[in-house]
């Protein structure tokens, strides 16, 4: 008996952005590049990207990083279509009480269709790969009770880098599961549109 393929749940808001709005807001980011920002080392860049996401989510102390993938069609500027993924990292609890986990959620922006110039926004919490496993990492096994202690531990042992910009190939080498999540999310959303 074959295992049923896992598909994430998405909250999709159609016509959330226009092509021109996205172009204006993304002028500081290169096409076909990937970026990694965290709240501690790059707060202003983090906040700029977080402005695309629901404030009720990004204002939480648990949310500490955004990996941003700027992808799209290879057409000319006139026909170019944005495919953007914001992969937010947030502190979460593990199955064992002392496990400190860092969980990832996806927020995708893509064209509603090929002719209108409008773009949807789709979000999926507790993103799972095609095998049905959550994209998550244990960053500590210390018993920590306050969010301040959890954030300090996170930056001491897991989020140790500064703001980075990567080519897609570089990003794939160091964050392969996140790049796969980008592609998987758009495949799954396309089936729901």
3-state class (DSSP) for residue 68: strand
pLDDT digits (tens, 9 = 90+) for 108-123: 999 987 666 899 999 9
Two tokens at 43? 């707060």
Confidence of residue 178 (pLDDT cuts 50, 70, 90): very high
pLDDT at 76 over 50: yes
Element (H, E) at 20: helix 19-25
Structure token digits, residue 52: 């695309």
- When pLDDT is cut at 50, 70 and 90, the band that residue 1 belongs to is very low
Read off the pLDDT of residues 26-74 as tens digits, 9 standing for 90 and up: 999 998 999 999 999 889 999 999 999 988 888 889 999 999 999 987 6
pTM of structure: 0.88
Weakest mean pLDDT among 67-81, 89-103, 160-174: 67-81
Q: Where are the domains of the chain?
A: 11-192
Asked whether 90 and 105 are in contact (CB, 8 A), the reply is yes
Tokens of 160: 């140790």
């Amino acid at each position: 008996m074959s295992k049923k393929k896992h598909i994430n749940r998405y909250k999709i808001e159609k016509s959330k952005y226009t092509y021109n709005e996205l172009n204006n807001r993304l002028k500081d980011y290169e096409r076909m590049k990937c970026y990694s920002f965290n709240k501690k080392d790059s707060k202003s860049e983090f906040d700029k990207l977080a402005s695309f996401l629901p404030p009720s989510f990004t204002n939480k102390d648990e949310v500490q990083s955004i990996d941003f993938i700027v992808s799209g069609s290879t057409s000319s500027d006139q026909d170019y279509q944005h495919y953007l993924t914001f992969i937010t990292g947030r502190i979460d609890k593990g199955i064992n009480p002392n496990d400190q986990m860092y969980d990832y959620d996806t927020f995708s922006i893509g064209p509603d269709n090929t002719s209108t110039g409008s773009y949807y926004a789709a979000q999926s919490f507790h993103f799972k790969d095609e095998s049905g496993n959550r994209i998550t990492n244990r960053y500590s096994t210390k018993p920590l009770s306050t969010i301040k202690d959890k954030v300090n531990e996170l930056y001491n042992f897991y989020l140790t880098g500064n703001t980075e910009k990567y080519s897609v190939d570089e990003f794939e080498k160091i964050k392969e599961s996140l790049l796969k999540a980008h592609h998987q999310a758009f495949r799954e959303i396309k089936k729901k549109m």
